[in-house]
Chain A
Amino acid sequence: MSPAPLRLAVDIGGTFVDAMELDTRTGVVRFRKASTTPARPWEGVLAAVEALGTDLGEVELFIHGTTLGLNAVLERRGGATGIITNYGLRDIFLLGRGNVPDDRMYDFQYERPESLVKRRHTAGVRGRLNHRGEELEPLDEVGLREVARQLVEDEGVISLAVCYLHSYLDPSHEQRTAELLREWYPQVTVSVSTDIVREHREYERTSTTVLEAYIRPIFERYVDELEKGLAAKGFDGRFLIMRSGGGSMTSATAKQSPTHTVLSGPAGGIVGGGYLADVLERPNVLTFDIGGTSLDACVIEDGTAVVTHEAELEHFPLLMPSYDIRTIGAGGGSIAWIDRGLLKVGPESASAVPGPVCYGRGGTRPTVTDASVCLGYVDPESFLAGSMPLQAEAAVEAVRATIAEPLGLSVEAAAAGIFDVMLAKTVGAVRQITVERGHDPRVFSLLAFGGAGPLVAPLLAREMGVREVIVPFAPSGFSAWGMLSADIVNDFARTRMEVLDEVDLDDLRRELDEIGGEALGSLREQGVADDVAHLENQLELRYLGQEHTLTVPIGEDLDPEAIRRSFNELHEARYGHSMESRVQILTARVRGIGRTVRPGLPVLPEGDGDPARALTGRRTAFDFGTRSAAEFAVYDRSRLSPGDRFDGPALVDEGTSTTVVHSGQHVEVDEHGYLLITLEEAA
């Protein structure tokens, strides 16, 4: 029995659909882009597959990254969603935590974005637990009947979120409510808080449930349409969808819990980063995904990408694991401007339309991309392999008129200044994400991808003192490539809130086994064989009285002393001190992982070590090593071979992106054809 040989990854972004095909027999990948089709998004996916020309009958695995759920929320495209909660507490979701976003603290006329739920679509039902999970008042099923009738029949609600106080300790009121609702109104989608997340804090749990209720009807329809479309073209393999917090899940599971997909946009690149960290034996990696409007950075430590258990979607909390990605408003489209003599970059972006001045689509304000044209990094003729010639003079003129003249600088110095300011903003933010983890950023390798990643990353490395930059093949399609190596993953958790010294170990063991059972069951349902299934147990711990927790991995052995020791060590590493206070277990977590057979990283034949064969010419550009114009050697990436070494200043062109290496930096092509850029001293 030989499985179909191809794998296909399709990633939907804001403007383009990226499709990547991997032939598992040869390790060869092929890559195409198509335009997104926002009204009927599955059509863009099918078009991208078509453009690639892949025979879907030959595809064993179709893996898909989509931010459809996110867009549904951003554009408020969901149907009427209702909330059923405790009597007297119907406003929990609308009240939230009462705060305004941090960056609006001095805005005393702040206006909130439109809510996802109308107040008249919220209702309370009698029935109450206390903080120990004991029933104070039984569920009022008669009252529930009336409330449900009003919401569904009078108000036309099509999706209901159910969340009661303290349900994470005992879900029976919620379960009974859901059972009745489904019996009365089988056509209505019912989302239950404890089915999604068994963690404390009612607003956060309700918000997570509401997001699911809001997204589910749209997401189900989308996946159904896509499944049909693929089947019509002969697809008979496995269909996986990327998760926000790592790995993937089957399309059937995704339809049940679509909130796990909403923040998966940048996930492919991070999964790929984790894979490379492993294969290239670089345990500490910072991924740098730089596109048109923003830079997404994520820390990979000890080979594992950092996951956070609480995220936000348009200020709505989401108690879901997701990669801890820091987004910095500094991309190619970020606009440079002058504020009373000081040079500012961003946060405003020229986006795709009108885009940078050099695109010639009506943009008049200079951007980072325009600065890179002024600095000579981008060859206007060969941009995107010559498919879109750039208007270099317009870029120069915009930088001259808007930036250089007001500051009394040359165009070159002004353009370099735009880079300096963007880098300074970025360095601080990136340092934050490593410092929060208790690491020195200098121990990381920087993995640069996205269209502008390789253009900026070597400079950033220089500024931060990072020892190495890795530029993979086809950096602009790296996210889709990363998806090809995604495991099937699930996450389950229960809030416990107990002091470690007083914990009933048998009970904790029992609960971990129970959660582990859920994880294994879900993996089996998704077709993962037991011999490749793997469970990781973790405890979220804190000193009694603290709010923030640290996640400590635990083994089979539940030894409170050992657990406390690991926690103290981690606390010491993160915060510089540990305490003698008692340690509290907040949450028990289990991550289930079904290992995917990863695509091998092909080893390419060694060349003669002389990159001259790839040299296509020389170009004058700005060298940040000497802060002056210099002759850059220009190499064609497709003609470089493993073992080639050369020094900056140099430019490596590969059609969809350019790697810019400055003087004082050194490049080596590794056995996979990746560019490894180091400081000259370190080489």
Chain B
Amino acid sequence: MTLDGATIEVVRSYLLAAAEEMRTTLIRTAFNPVIYEVLDFGISLYDEKLELIAEAPGLTFFLGANDFSLQKGVEYVGAENLFPGDIVMLNYPYWNAAHAYDATLFAPVFLPDEAHPDADGTLVGYVCVRAHWMDLGAKDPGYVLDSTDVHQEGMLFPGTKVFSRGKAVHDIHELIRFNSRMPDVVLGDLHAQVSAIRTGERRLIEIMQKFGKPAVDEAVTVIKAHSEQSTIDALAALPQGSWTAVDWMDDDGISDDPIRMQVTVTIADGTFTVDFAGSSPATKGPVNMPLGATIALCKVVLKNLTSPEQPSNAGTTVPLRVLAEPGTLFHAVYPAPTFTLWTGIVALELVYKALAQGMPDRLAASSGGDVPGFMMVGDHPDTGEFFAISNNDPVGWGGTPEHDGLDATIHLSESTVRSTPLEVLEARSGMIFERLEIRTDSGGAGRHRGGAGLQRDIRFVSPGEFLSVIKKTKTAPWALEGGLEPKPNQVVVFPGTEREARVSTKRVPVQPGDLIRLLTAGGGGHGDPADRDPALVRRDVSEGYVSREAAASVYGVEIDE
């Protein structure tokens, strides 16, 4: 059979619509805000050969992250042990391409045989939904910043049926309930993932019935080849070569020693190779990356460079090669702790830092270098009930070859995530926000300046623990083409008191009256500040992004009162 270009496009639309419908179902039924607000999930459809055919990622990093997990999960359970109605759960970090609180659920999809409606039918694919859960019994409530092996990071599921032939597996559900500090929320999210999976299952079967399995197979083959060719063509249009860059992450959560990261990126012969040789060996603390997570971050870079507006499938990433030795920072093996995966964010920027050497006229400078996250856990001052609330703060994006970087925007590794409203944070925790404002002069100067970060002052009204989750405060993000480095992230606890200190990733006990100040990084500048249009410098001063002093000293633009 040979399908025409119109029919293939029709099949492609139907497959994408199925993934989108799963996404809608998940968002609208999830219980925890990290799913419905932060969009910390990834949704994908696969063929029976475990090749990605359509997806609807929530978070940038979950692009294709299910690929790795599904493969490991099916390997562990055995395809022959999967039946219609089964749903399998997997969160074993080394297989799951994420930390233990990302629960991946997947289901085999069987096409019923019309002649034998009672038989199991034929395996035609898989649907898969991963999502971040709030608690699976790790050593600390909220988030884990200093574990030293995986068994402190929550209960592990290697590939365990939570539904068997359409029926909930009661014992497993109870096991989850008794091993979570927030059982209602966690089980609610499990149900939300199940709803999304059932939706995907139904749609995939309908598509197979509508077009016929052979036609879908042929369409999928063409669609994958099409995406692969798009990637190869786009790579060919980029400068070819090999570039190495080094950067440092603040610490591993245990000691204060900076962690070395190194990457060599090579674009040649239609391939895109990312080699992490030269990076730190596995660390004692929980910043080690499962290989699947390392691969996923490289997929993000490749996609951004080659097909930012196209949906992805298995073909998109065929030209990608990722190299990381087992037992190193970028390839965690049992029992290395993996909870604080901020490593991937710093590493994403590192890959760009390497690439920028070869194509400074195409890329933006560093965007703050990291995602400044914070959490508070404690007992709610109104109700006495335990709460855990989190927020990721914006940073300044890097100046680009064409324009200034965005001011105060969520880091590009998760740019669709929304920060939490102050009215929600204040109502659900023991915090009051005294300031949330643009941080003047934080953006790196340049012909196109980096965006500004922000300042957030938090006053505590009830006791609890404040968690600063951030891995790049000690070194500044990088600039390009003669631009200047921006101000890095800074977390100052108890400013103006004897206890004042600068921290990066830290769990800090707080009392009513305490103040913590977060200063988020600006973006790197792009191009020589002397080349900046003086009218733009004046605008920046009148709008308060740049101080009068900096306008004079950095840009050489004097502004009268």
Contacts and interface: CB of A to CB of B under 8 A. Distances in A.
Contacts of A427: 13-14, 17
B29 A421 contact: no
B408 interface: yes
Contact of A106 (B10, B60, B436, B542): B60
A432 B17 CA distance: 8
B32 interface: yes
Nearest to B29: A575
Interface string A503-546: 00000000000000000000000000000000000000001011
Interface string B433-455: 11111100000000000000010
A112 B406 contact: yes
B427 A99 contact: no
**Chain A, interface residues (CB within 8 Å), range:** 35 or more
B433 A89 contact: yes
Contact of B31 (A101, A200, A202, A546): A546
B191 interface: yes
A341 B12 CA distance: 13
A311 B5 CA distance: 37
A342 B226 contact: yes
A618 B6 CA distance: 29
A43 interface: no
A1 interface: no
Interface stretch (B86-94, B267-275, B327-335, B411-419): B411-419
A104 B364 CA distance: 16
Contact of B436 (A91, A108, A120, A131): A91
A120 B437 CA distance: 13
A94 B439 CA distance: 13
B550 to A, nearest CB: 16
Nearest to B429: A131
A136 B6 CA distance: 64
A497 interface: yes
A342 B415 contact: no
B369 interface: no
A415 B367 CA distance: 46
Contacts of A39: none
A99 B416 contact: yes
B20 interface: yes
A120 B542 contact: yes
A94 B5 contact: no
A98 B13 contact: no
Contacts, number: 224
B17 A429 contact: yes
B409 interface: yes
A202 B423 CA distance: 6
A662 interface: no
B410 interface: yes
Residue from A203, A425, A546 whose CB has the most chain B CB atoms within 10 Å:
A546
A104 B412 CA distance: 10
Contacts of A561: none
Interface stretch (B241-249, B256-264, B302-310, B497-505): B302-310
Interface string A450-491: 000000000000000000000000000000000000000000
B6 A341 contact: no
Given A88-B436, A104-B415, A543-B31, A407 B6 contact: yes
Interface in B19-61: 20-21, 24-25, 27-33, 36-37, 60
Contacts of A25: none
A114 interface: no
A379 B402 CA distance: 48
B505 to A, nearest CB: 21
A329 B484 CA distance: 42
Nearest to B407: A94
A581 interface: yes
Interface in A354-407: 407
Contacts of A100: 406, 409-410, 415-416
Contact of B418 (A99, A111, A436): A99
B432 interface: yes
B308 A91 contact: no
Given A106-B309, A428-B17, A574-B28, A98 B435 contact: no
Residue from A102, A416, A418 whose CB has the most chain B CB atoms within 10 Å:
A102
A316 to B, nearest CB: 14
Given A92-B436, A98-B409, A545-B185, A424 B13 contact: yes
Interface residues of B, number: 85
A88 B432 CA distance: 12
Contacts of A104: 415
A384 to B, nearest CB: 29
B188 interface: yes
Given A95-B408, A343-B5, A576-B195, A109 B60 contact: no
A417 interface: yes
Interface string A197-210: 00011111000000
A61 interface: no
Nearest to B432: A130
Interface string A412-434: 01101110110111011101100
Contacts of A98: 393-394, 408-410, 417-419
A483 to B, nearest CB: 31
A107 interface: yes
Given A105-B416, A109-B400, A432-B24, A545 B32 contact: yes
A612 B406 CA distance: 66
A92 B437 CA distance: 8
B4 interface: yes
Given A424-B10, A575-B28, A576-B195, A201 B436 contact: no
A598 interface: no
Contact of B9 (A130, A424, A435, A579): A424
Interface in B306-322: 308-309
A558 interface: no
Given A202-B422, A343-B5, A431-B17, 8 more contacts: A105-B416, A108-B397, A109-B402, A119-B545, A202-B423, A340-B229, A417-B5, A417-B6
5 contacts: A100-B410, A106-B303, A342-B226, A417-B5, A435-B199
Interface of B: 4-10, 12-14, 16-18, 20-21, 24-25, 27-33, 36-37, 60, 184-185, 188, 191-192, 195, 198-199, 222-223, 226, 229-230, 300, 303-304, 308-309, 364, 367, 382, 393-394, 397, 400, 402-403, 406-410, 412, 415-419, 421-424, 426-427, 432-438, 454, 457, 461, 542-545
Interface of A: 88-92, 94-95, 97-112, 118-120, 130-132, 136, 165-166, 200-204, 338-344, 407-409, 413-414, 416-418, 420-421, 423-425, 427-429, 431-432, 435-436, 497, 543, 545-548, 574-577, 579, 581
In the A-B complex, the 5 residue pairs with the closest CB atoms:
A428-B17, A417-B6, A97-B418, A424-B13, A88-B435
